[in-house]
Amino acid sequence: MPLLSASTGETYTITRIGGTAEVRKHLEDLGFTVGGTVKVITAMGGNLIVNVRETRVAVSRELAMKIMV
């Protein structure tokens, strides 16, 4: 399922990252890698605040749809 559908407060393992090569590289630079974990902290206006690699990151709705957990 896409990260956008994930429940707040739950920890998930990233199974796939979609999008163009540029989008995948951007997400990788933010810390999103296949096999890594991500925890949804809060959802605000369709955007997500997540915890990835012990860092809080804001992710837009569009990018959250490309991260599969």
Domains of the chain: 3-68 (2.30.30.90)
Q: Which of 66, 67, 43 is nearest to 58 (CA)?
A: 43
Residue 19 Ramachandran class (φ > 0 left, ψ -120 to 50 alpha, else beta): left
Residue 52 in contact with residue 31, Cβ under 8 Å? yes
Give 14-55 pLDDT, tens digit per residue: 999 999 999 999 999 999 999 999 999 999 888 999 999 999
Contacts of 17 by beta carbon, 8 Å cutoff, 6+ apart: 24, 27, 28, 32, 33, 34, 66, 67, 68
What pTM value is reported for the model?
0.90
The pLDDT score that the predictor gives to residue 49 is 96
d(Cα 58, Cα 30) in Å, to the nearest integer? Answer: 10
